[in-house]
Structure 1
Amino acid sequence: FAAVGVASTIAYLVLFLLLRTFTGAQTANLVALLVTAIGNTTLNRRLTFGIRGRKGSGLHQFQGLIVFGIGLGLTSGALAFVHSLSASGLPLEITALVLANLAATVVRFLLLRGWVFRSRRQPAIESAVERES
């Protein structure tokens, strides 16, 4: 999860900086976050949670987009806060986005583990409990 998160964050920042050169910060944030969220969900599905094949991938992407919405709220809110300050600029935007992405990563992990990919792990948990009984 950490490796996927680091790679996603780097890709997000690169996309944000590229898009930021010709669009506003909020639009750049939306597009960069959406693109990397789809890739992040796909990679976490396979690498972190060991789910292979296409079964359930559409549902997982849909749930991942709901999780994306939470991250978008955090990053958009951080940008709005920065833009409300009298001394804002690209370095402050990047700092705020990195901090907001750290918070979003914690939320993302908890939701991916406990909600999005939970059904995959549930039988193993239930069978372990049954063996202990």
Structure 2
Amino acid sequence: MPPLMAPSGEPRTAAPVLDVVVPVHDEEADLEQCVRRLDAHLATLPFSYRITIAENASTDGTLDVAQRLAAQLPGVTVRVETEPGRGRALNRAWAASDAAVLVYMDVDLSTDLNALLPLVAPLISGHSDLAIGTRLAGSSRVVRGAKREFISRSYNLLLR
């Protein structure tokens, strides 16, 4: 598998501490705003990072937006998957990553970005091997519309 490339076209020389993989499929409308927001947040953290956009067989202009972001933002790379499937995209992106800590995040950034550092800090320090965040924990505070809340809760109920 070819190495991840910096926007200059040169191979990246140092592995980042954190690789945030964002799988996307037909997210042309939201991708740029969300990745720029994520990049700005990660830039405030005290360790190196990469945002890997795992483009997942989109049929709209998602790939063009992703490639433009990678050219403009030094911490952003793009992986292209020709077969659809979020799990497949995550698996392949994580398998190819050289980062010490791997993170999955939805493109809509529905989780508060301020929750990221407390989640990954024990991983980075070596005190934990795995961390899982959930919006379904009793102590979680989720702000979303009534329609989305109903759909999410109904879906989770069906899965049980």
After TM superposition, the score normalised by the length of structure 1 is 0.29
After TM superposition, the score normalised by the length of structure 2 is 0.26
Max radius of gyration: which structure?
1
Give the number of the structure whose residues are more often helix, by fraction.
1
